[in-house]
Structure formats: structure tokens, C-alpha cells
């Protein structure tokens, strides 16, 4: 495998060409380098084997001016040579010319279109092919290389860290083990093409909705037709793991590596009665070519049967129709006719030595068309008849030996043929053990050493040896008969080889057609593998929507290992609830939960059904994970440094269409710093609107995100059942998702009771309570949200519910009833929000910009209004609502179409909110000043001290707290808010 990399001067664009000289395949791609060659490394990691060498521009490997690309390649692929190639070989026009020369005719036009405005990719291909042909000396035939242009933008991005964390290919606990991986449970393929396509699709799932739904349609069609499912599996088994793509490579190499037929080497010297026979290596190559022809015959025969089965079932999915089109008798007629005219119908491919010899002797028809340049029929039949006579003589000799063995030993010897086409006889060791011991009286009883000269039943044998449970040997006469038979077999093989060489040259015209068959069979084999898994594990077909909704979702690998796996629901909206914060105790299943979401997303975009009872997914362009806690000593990076390095990449590359999975961020440093970093990164994700599943032990993160954002961060936790018996507490993990953050913060202590002594746990519990009470007195972030936040969040929630209802498959009557329910619930929630805001008195005017207001933590508690006051407030609210609605109706009649497109509940809620906010500010201003003076007096009486003034307020979601300082065990909180900031307005 040769990899050429062409780099722009700014290093922003990379052209990559990878050429496999064994399979005659080449891949060309263009990479936008935005992340320090990380995407390049991910692209190279997709190949089953690393490249044998890298080709770069020669000036880039200068030791004094070595580029960053060279350093990256040397670090990621140690031991692999990086070779500099002269600038003249990196030529775009030469690359386009080589595309026309080496690609198949039906692919050349498409490839030129892809590379015409792709300068660096064309240069890389030119350098790679020139190196293979001129420097390595490997001949490349015209129209013999399978060239593909890969579009990275059409696949979901999966970096190497994500592939490792999700265990897509390798088990994290044992890198050599392929079990317990997603690839292992998916791989039910029957062909090498299907297995390669499955691996490639797993590492690069599609983002093309049509391609995904086509595979879902095919799975559904095959799974619903049991007879078709059984028939296609039977046909795929008939392919015998034959690799048609490699057969096409063998055919395509025929024009450059063509050999002389073996018959031309059978030269009879004039005057000398001596035959010069082909060498053992030449005969082996001839046998290999014959086997390839028989494999092609077997493969196409199974393909025709598969096509007939699909035609009988009247398949309608695009994948099945592609098989019917590529594998129709009309498309394969020239190839099938060529095989039928020259190869016996009963000839079949086999790996057994005796079958291999029979195939090379009898597979070619004796009566052939003169166009094949085959030997005359009489000579061909005469050579075969002579071979039969020699074989009959050999069998007669063996029968005579068996008569002697039966008389003395009571058993017959079995004749076998080894891999070098030599005959030998064998007995079971128990049948001749005593006879051999009598032939060596001085040897020990337990020795298995066989003397050089030995006789069995009076027959002298040679080359005797024990092979596990058998004893095999030859005689001199058997060796002579075997040599005569083998010599005549070589003569027949040489005569048949002329036909095989001619057939190979004829098949070269149909390589493109065979490659189309290979692609169609590989895709169909992968779909059948998906069908096998989906039917056996009760997977369902997902839907493509803007939201992510999973009902009773399961981990695809874990549920096979644990039959009692607990399924869970998942929801992430389109506009609202795109950030999900998951809390819970240790071992409660947080990591398994978020991994299940990621794996289901990968399965769905591969085109497979998913493990759930209902699934609606939104197609994402990239999947990022931050899960492992390993360090990188080779890069001088600790656990926390690796964590920050990966998070930096995710923050810069994630978009609104990305899915981000983060597991316990910030655990590699101190709790306070980890909390701050995790909170800041979550705020960044909320702003970019990426779909994020964030598991953490920081229970306050979800509340703080909700306080600063109107996007509706969803808080959920993995539930646990805590029971108390006397002074003993026990935590039972339910592994079930529940709404809200985890209630208990002592789950770590509850789990530790299983392992630690009682006195240690008692002391730990006392310390934890002290720290928690101290933190509560120091910092209380659980203040109420502002009215604007609550109203906006309520509006967005209703809008999300309406959008989901419209996108659903509900009937009109049910949809109307559901809309009425949403409207009634919205009105009740809006009234509750406004009444709560009036009664709480927190709707005060914010301080002016640059002003920091000092507020005591011991703020006075507001008294709950009496029943008569609450009824009066509700009456005033209803009167105000009627008055506002009446005036609004008049304005609508006057303005007409100039009104905004917002729904009526939203308009009504905005007007009510504006009026009542204004009234609330007027009514509570005096009360606020009185409360402020009283709190300051209490602060002075208790000797509380603040930090003074600040010239500017902090930004972000922590803008409600600018400084906290310890002063004699009691602390002050300095609160400030800029105009337009997203923080709290006061305590």
C-alpha cells in the first residue's frame, strides 16, 4: 500500500491517494485540514493495514525545514518510511492522464469530473502511480486499476478516539479480541466484499438519507418474506467466500503479466528422446489459474440463482433491484457463454488436493471451438486416456498390497494424495502399532520413532512416519507408479492450460461488468447481515425526523451479554432540549446509557435497524465522544491534558448537526476546577446548539444551564432505590432513567459501604455533611429564574410540542384534540408563571451597568399571601386579560395582515406579561427598597463584610456571582448584572 500526500502551501488542503498494488485498487480523496492533520490520521486509520510508505514533496523532509505533516506522520506511524519525491512528479495534468489510462472505461469520465478542479488530489495520484510503475518496477496494465474518489462530506465523521471509546472494531479490555464489539455482532456476511463494505460503512456511516432509507427498505422487504430470506442466505452460502474483486484483479493483470501456455514448454529435442517438462512453480501457477476460472464459474452460477430468487419474489426495494439489474442473465450472458463453451458443466471449485488435480485434468472440454487454439481433440483425448491407464495401474498395485495387508493384519491401507500430488498409504496407528514394535525389538515400548528400514506384513516400506492418529508410508513401486501418473497429469495440464490462458484474455473485456456485480453483491450481503441481526434481536426500523426520540432503547452489544438488560427512553428535541445532562450514582448505567445513544445513531446511519421499540433519529454529520481516562506518556500528556486536548477539538469542530457524547468531564482535576470547566464547556455547547449527552456527578450543572439559557436543558438521572434498615443504608441500582437530577448526594457513600469498614464510612459521612453545609452557607445558586426566562422557555416548549404534533402521523381529529390540550396547558402554565412572579416579588429593576449590588445571603423571607389576597390577584389577572384581549382584537381588525405570524397563545402571553411586569415593578419598588435596607442593617449587625465595588460585571452563566470570600466562617455574595446579560437579576 502506497500513500501519496500533496499539501497546499498554507496546509489548509490535502490531496491523498492510496494505491494497493496487491488488489490493484486506488482511493483518492481531498481533506480540508482544520485540526492539525487529525482528519488525515482518521482517514488512514480506515484501511485494514497501514501504508508501507508515505510519499511527500521532497523539500518537506528537509531536516532543517521539516514540515508539521512529516512530524505528524512519524509520530503516528513509527517505523514507516516517509519518502521524498521530486516536484516534477506531482503534476495535475499527468494525474488526469493516468486516470484515463489506468481506470476502467466506464469510470474514467466520472473520475475526471471529480478531479478537474481538485489540483492536490490529482497531483497525489500522479506521484503514487509514477512511484509504483517507475521506482518499484511494478507493471500496470491499461484499464486495470479500480479507482474510487471518496467524498468525506457524504459520510458521518468518526475520529479514532470515538471508534475506540465505542468499541466499534476492538474491545477496549483486549485489543486482540474482536468479540463484544459492534462489528462482531453485525458481521454475518458471507462474502469478502460484504465484510469489507461492512467495516468501511461502520467507520464511515452515510449521511445520505436516500441511501439509508434504501437499505431500510431492503431489510424490511427481506425480513417480511421468510422464503426469500432463506433462499438468499442459501445463495450467499453458495458463493463459498469467493472474492470476485480479487478475481477481477487477477484478470486485469493478465495484459501485463501474461504468461506463455505450458504446452509451449513441452519441447521434444530432435534426435533425443527427452521431454523437457514445466517446473513445479509453473505448474502451481497453472493450477491457480484453473482454480480461478472454476471459482468464477461457481460464483456466477450462485449469482444467477440469487437473481432468479429475487425475480420470483418480485422484490421492489432499490437494493434488490440493483442485484436484479447487475446480475441479470442478459448482463452476464457473454461471460456465462464463454464459461459454458469451454468448461465442463460438472467441474466445481474445491480445495482438496485430489479435486484440484481432477479439475486441472478434466475441467476443460475436449471438444472446443477452434478459436480457442486448443490442442486437437484426438491428442487431448489420447493424453487423458493414457492418464487413465496409469491411474488404473496404480490402483491395481494398491489392491495387491491391500490383499497382503488384509491377510496378515485384517485391515486395508488407505491411499491419499498430498499437496505435492504424491501418493502415499496410511493406517490407523492402533492397527499397525504392534507390527511396527515387532519390527524393532530393541526399542522402548513408548517410543514413536520409526526405523528407516521397516516391513509391514512382509512388505518393505519407505518414508514411514507417524502423523498423530495415523501412520503413513510409501513403497518403491508405489513411488514409481505415482511419478508416472504425475508426469502424465502434467502433460494433460499443459494441454489444458492453453485454453485457460485464452479464456483469461477474453475475460479482460468484461472486468467492468464483473466489478459491478461485485459491488452489488457486497452491498446486498451487508444488507442481509443487517437483516439477520435485526430479526434475531428484535430490532425495529427507525424514522428520520428533526428530533431524537427512542423508546425502550437498548445497548446492541450489552443486551446480548446480559439478557436482563434494562431498556430506557431517550428524547432530544430539535429547538428545545438539545443538551441532556445525566446524573446518577456510580455503576448506575450513565456510560452505558450514552453509549447506547451513540451506537444506535451509528447503526441507523449505516442503514441497519436499531434496538428499540420506537426510534426517530436526526441525521448528524459527525459523532464526537470524550469517555476514556487514559493518559499518553509517549506525548508527555497526563489524563487531564488528554481530556482538554480532545475537548478543544470537539469544541472547535462540533456544529448544530453534530452528536456529542461526554462522560464525566473534569474528573482529572480538582472538583472546583472540574466543575467550572464542565460548566463552561456545556454553556458553549448550548450556544452552538449541538446535540449533547453529558453525564456527570456535578448535580448543579443542569440547574445553572437552565438559569442562563432558554433552550431548555433536560435534566435526567439513573435512578437508585435507597432503603434503610436501622443504621444501615443500602442502595439498589435500578438502571432506569428518571426525570430531574439525582436527589441523593450520598450515593458514593452508600456504594462504599459494600467495601469499606464501618468506622471509616461513619467518619466519611460526617465530613461529607460538614462540607455540604459549609458550601450551602457559602454559595446558594438555586435562586429563581427571571420572568423573561420562564416565559420564553414556556413559549419554546409549546412551539416544540406543536412542531412534533404536526410531524407525527396522528389523524386530524386526534391532532385537533391534542392541540386543544396544548393550548389549555399553555394558558394554565402561563397564568401560574405570572401569578408566581407577582407573589415572589423578584421582578425588580436590575442595577445600572457597571454597578455591583451587595446583597446579604440572609435575605428576608416573603410571607405567603392569604387566601383572600390570592383570590383578588386572580380576579385582577382575569380582568386584565379580558381588557387586553379586547383591545388586541380591535387592533387586529385594524391592522389585518400586518400582524406577526406567531400563534395566538404567544401573542396573548406577551401582552399580559408586559402589562403585569410593568405593574409589578411599580408595586414592588418600595417594598424592595425596604427589604434592601433591612438586609444591609442585618449585615452590619453581624459584622459581615463584602468585597466592595467592581467596575464591570462578569459575563456568561456565572454572572450572578462575581466574588466569594471566607470571613470568619460566614461569607458575602456580591451580585451584579449588566444590561442584557443572561444572569440573575438579584437574590
pLDDT at residue 706 greater than cutoff 60: yes
Name the nearest CA neighbour of 10 among 120, 118, 160, 112. Answer: 120
Element (DSSP H or E) covering residue 5: strand 2-7
Alpha-carbon torsion angle 702, 708, 713, 716, nearest 10: 20
Per-residue pLDDT reduced to its tens digit, 610-621:
999 999 999 998
Dihedral pair phi/psi, residue 112, rounded to 5°: -65, -40
Please report, rounded to a whole number, the percentage of residues in the chain having pLDDT higher than 90.
Answer: 14
Q: What is the average pLDDT across 947-968?
A: 33
H/E run at residue 852: strand 852-855
The runs of H, that is alpha helices, within 177-243 are: 182-186, 192-203, 209-224, 226-237
Read off the pLDDT of residues 317-369 as tens digits, 9 standing for 90 and up: 998 888 888 888 888 889 998 988 888 888 888 777 777 777 777 888 876 55
Q: 635 pLDDT exceeds 90?
A: no
Q: Find cell 464525566 and name the residue.
A: 664
Q: For the chain, what's the residue count?
A: 987
- Average pLDDT across the chain, whole number: 76
The yes-or-no verdict on residue 170 having pLDDT over 50 is yes
Q: Output the pLDDT for position 945.
A: 37
Residue percentage of the chain with pLDDT more than 70:
74
The pLDDT value given to residue 378: 64
pLDDT for 848-900, tens place per residue?
A: 444 434 333 333 344 555 667 667 766 776 777 677 677 767 766 666 544 44
Give the number of other Cβ atoms within 10 Å of residue 112's Cβ. 14
Tell whether the model's pLDDT for residue 780 goes beyond 60: no
Residue 25 sits at φ, ψ, to 5 deg, of -125, 150
Tens digit of pLDDT for each residue in 266-286?
Answer: 554 344 444 556 666 777 788
Region(s) of the chain under CATH 3.40.50.300? 575-595+619-744
Range list for CATH 3.30.420.110 in the chain: 2-153
Note the CATH number of domain 2-153: 3.30.420.110
Low-confidence winner among 111-120, 152-161, 827-836, 890-899 (lowest mean pLDDT) = 890-899
Cβ neighbours for 482, distance < 8 A, ≥ 6 positions apart: 394, 422, 423, 474
Give percent helix, percent strand, percent coil of the chain, each to the nearest 5: 55, 15, 30
Yes or no: say if 150 and 28 are a contact pair by the CB < 8 Å rule. yes
3-state secondary structure of 794: helix
Min mean pLDDT across 64-78, 463-477, 744-758, 883-897 is at: 883-897
- Mean pLDDT score, 232-239: 87
pLDDT of 545 higher than 80: yes
Q: Tell me what pLDDT residue 969 has.
A: 34
Using an 8 Å Cβ cutoff, are 920 and 838 in contact?
yes
Angle between helices 812-840 and 787-807 in degrees, nearest 10: 170
Global pTM reads 0.70
Question: What pLDDT is attached to residue 487?
Answer: 83
Arch. (CATH architecture) of 575-595+619-744: 3-Layer(aba) Sandwich (3.40)
Amino acid at each position: 500500500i502506497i500513500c501519496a500526500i500533496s499539501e497546499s502551501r498554507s496546509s489548509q488542503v490535502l490531496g491523498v491517494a492510496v494505491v494497493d498494488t496487491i488488489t490493484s485498487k486506488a482511493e483518492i480523496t481531498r481533506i480540508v485540514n482544520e485540526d492539525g492533520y487529525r482528519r488525515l490520521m482518521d482517514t488512514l486509520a480506515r484501511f485494514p493495514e497501514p501504508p508501507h510508505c508515505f510519499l511527500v514533496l521532497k523539500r518537506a523532509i528537509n531536516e532543517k525545514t521539516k514540515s508539521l505533516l512529516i512530524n505528524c506522520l512519524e509520530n503516528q506511524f513509527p517505523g514507516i518510511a516517509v519518502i521524498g519525491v521530486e516536484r516534477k512528479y506531482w503534476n495535475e495534468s499527468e494525474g488526469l492522464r493516468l486516470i484515463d489510462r489506468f481506470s476502467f472505461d466506464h469510470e474514467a469520465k466520472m473520475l475526471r469530473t471529480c478531479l478537474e478542479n481538485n489540483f492536490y488530489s490529482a497531483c497525489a495520484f500522479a506521484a503514487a502511480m509514477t512511484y509504483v510503475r517507475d521506482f518499484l518496477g511494478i507493471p500496470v496494465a491499461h484499464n486495470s486499476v479500480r479507482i474510487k474518489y471518496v467524498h468525506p462530506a457524504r459520510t458521518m465523521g468518526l475520529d479514532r478516539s470515538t471508534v475506540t471509546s465505542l468499541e466499534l472494531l476492538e474491545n477496549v479490555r483486549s485489543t486482540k479480541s474482536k468479540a463484544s464489539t459492534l462489528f462482531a455482532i453485525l458481521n454475518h456476511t458471507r462474502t469478502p466484499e460484504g465484510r469489507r463494505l461492512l467495516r468501511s460503512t461502520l467507520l464511515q456511516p452515510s449521511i445520505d438519507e436516500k441511501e439509508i432509507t434504501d437499505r431500510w427498505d431492503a431489510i424490511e422487504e427481506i425480513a417480511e418474506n421468510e422464503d426469500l430470506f432463506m433462499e438468499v442466505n442459501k445463495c450467499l452460502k453458495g458463493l463459498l467466500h469467493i472474492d470476485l474483486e480479487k478475481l477481477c484483479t487477477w484478470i486485469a493483470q493478465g495484459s501485463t503479466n501474461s504468461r506463455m501456455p505450458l504446452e509451449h514448454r513441452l519441447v521434444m529435442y530432435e534426435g533425443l528422446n527427452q521431454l523437457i517438462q514445466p517446473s513445479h512453480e509453473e505448474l502451481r501457477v497453472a493450477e491457480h489459474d484453473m482454480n480461478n476460472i472454476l471459482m468464477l464459474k461457481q460464483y456466477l452460477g450462485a449469482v444467477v440463482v440469487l437473481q432468479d430468487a429475487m425475480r420470483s419474489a418480485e422484490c421492489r426495494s432499490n437494493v434488490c433491484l440493483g442485484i436484479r439489474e447487475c446480475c441479470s442473465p442478459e448482463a452476464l450472458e457473454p461471460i456465462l457463454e464463454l464459461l459454458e463453451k469451454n468448461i465442463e458443466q460438472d467441474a466445481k471449485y474445491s480445495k482438496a488436493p485430489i479435486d484440484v488435480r481432477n479439475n486441472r485434468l478434466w475441467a476443460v472440454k475436449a471438444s472446443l471451438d477452434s478459436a480457442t487454439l486448443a490442442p486437437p481433440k484426438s491428442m487431448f483425448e489420447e493424453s487423458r486416456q493414457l492418464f487413465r491407464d496409469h491411474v488404473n495401474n496404480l490402483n491395481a498395485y494398491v489392491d495387491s498390497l491391500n490383499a497382503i495387508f488384509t491377510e496378515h493384519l485384517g485391515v486395508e491401507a488407505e491411499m491419499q494424495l498430498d499437496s505435492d500430488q504424491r501418493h502415499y498409504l496410511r493406517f490407523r496407528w492402533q492397527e499397525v502399532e504392534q507390527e511396527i514394535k515387532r519390527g524393532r525389538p530393541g526399542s522402548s515400548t513408548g517410543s514413536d520413532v520409526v526405523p528407516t528400514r521397516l516391513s509391514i506384513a512382509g512388505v518393505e516400506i519407505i518414508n514411514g512416519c507417524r502423523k498423530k492418529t495415523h501412520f503413513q508410508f510409501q513403497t518403491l513401486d508405489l513411488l514409481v507408479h505415482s511419478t508416472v501418473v504425475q508426469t502424465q497429469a502434467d502433460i494433460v495440464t499443459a494441454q489444458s492450460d492453453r485454453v485457460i490462458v485464452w479464456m483469461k484474455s477474453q475475460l479482460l473485456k468484461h472486468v467492468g461488468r464483473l466489478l459491478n456485480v461485485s459491488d452489488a453483491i457486497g452491498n446486498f450481503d451487508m444488507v442481509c447481515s443487517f437483516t439477520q441481526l435485526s430479526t434475531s434481536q428484535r430490532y425495529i426500523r427507525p424514522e428520520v425526523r428533526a428530533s431524537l426520540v427512542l423508546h425502550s432503547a437498548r445497548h446492541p452489544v450489552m443486551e446480548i451479554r446480559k439478557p436482563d438488560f434494562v431498556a430506557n427512553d431517550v428524547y432530544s428535541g430539535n429547538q428545545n432540549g438539545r443538551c441532556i445532562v445525566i446524573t446518577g450514582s456510580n455503576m448506575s448505567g450513565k456510560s452505558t446509557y450514552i453509549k447506547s445513544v451513540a451506537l444506535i445513531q451509528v447503526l441507523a446511519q449505516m442503514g441497519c435497524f436499531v434496538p428499540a421499540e420506537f426510534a426517530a433519529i436526526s441525521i448528524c454529520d459527525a459523532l464526537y465522544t470524550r469517555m476514556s481516562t487514559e493518559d499518553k506518556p509517549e506525548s508527555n500528556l497526563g489524563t487531564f491534558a488528554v481530556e482538554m486536548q480532545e475537548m478543544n477539538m470537539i469544541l472547535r469542530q462540533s456544529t448544530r448537526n453534530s452528536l456529542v457524547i461526554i462522560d464525566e468531564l473534569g474528573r482529572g482535576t480538582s472538583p472546583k476546577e472540574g466543575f467550572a470547566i464542565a460548566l463552561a464547556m456545556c454553556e458553549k455547547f448550548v450556544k452552538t446548539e449541538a446535540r449533547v449527552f453529558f453525564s456527570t456527578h456535578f448535580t448543579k450543572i443542569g440547574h445553572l444551564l437552565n438559569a442562563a439559557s432558554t433552550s431548555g436543558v433536560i435534566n435526567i438521572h439513573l435512578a437508585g432505590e435507597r432503603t434503610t434498615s436501622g443504621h444501615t443504608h443500602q442502595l439498589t441500582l435500578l438502571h432506569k432513567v428518571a426525570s430531574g437530577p439525582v436527589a441523593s448526594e450520598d450515593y458514593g457513600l452508600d456504594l462504599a459501604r459494600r467495601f469499606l469498614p464501618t468506622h471509616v464510612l461513619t467518619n466519611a459521612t460526617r465530613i461529607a455533611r460538614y462540607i455540604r453545609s459549609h458550601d450551602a452557607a457559602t454559595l446558594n445558586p438555586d435562586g429563581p429564574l427571571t420572568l423573561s426566562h420562564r416565559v420564553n422557555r414556556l413559549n419554546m416548549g409549546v412551539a416544540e410540542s406543536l412542531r412534533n404534533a404536526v410531524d407525527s402521523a396522528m389523524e386530524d381529529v386526534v391532532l385537533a384534540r391534542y392541540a386543544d390540550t396544548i393550548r389549555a396547558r399553555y394558558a394554565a402554565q402561563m397564568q401560574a408563571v405570572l401569578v408566581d412572579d407577582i407573589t415572589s416579588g423578584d421582578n425588580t429593576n436590575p442595577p445600572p451597568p457597571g454597578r455591583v449590588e451587595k446583597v446579604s445571603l440572609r435575605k428576608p423571607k416573603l410571607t405567603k399571601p392569604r387566601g383572600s389576597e390570592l383570590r383578588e390577584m386572580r380576579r385582577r389577572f382575569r380582568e386584565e386579560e379580558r381588557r387586553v384581549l379586547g383591545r388586541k382584537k380591535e387592533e387586529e381588525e385594524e391592522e389585518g395582515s400586518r400582524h406577526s405570524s406567531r400563534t395566538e397563545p404567544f401573542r396573548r402571553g406577551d401582552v399580559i406579561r408586559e402589562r403585569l411586569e410593568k405593574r409589578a415593578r411599580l408595586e414592588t419598588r418600595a417594598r424592595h427598597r425596604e427589604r434592601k435596607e433591612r438586609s444591609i442593617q442585618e449585615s452590619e449587625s453581624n459584622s459581615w463584610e463584602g468585597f466592595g465595588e467592581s467596575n464591570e460585571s462578569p459575563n456568561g452563566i456565572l454572572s450572578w456571582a462575581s466574588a466569594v470570600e471566607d470571613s470568619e466562617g460566614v461569607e458575602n455574595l456580591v451580585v451584579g448584572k449588566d444590561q442584557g446579560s443572561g444572569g440573575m437579576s438579584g437574590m
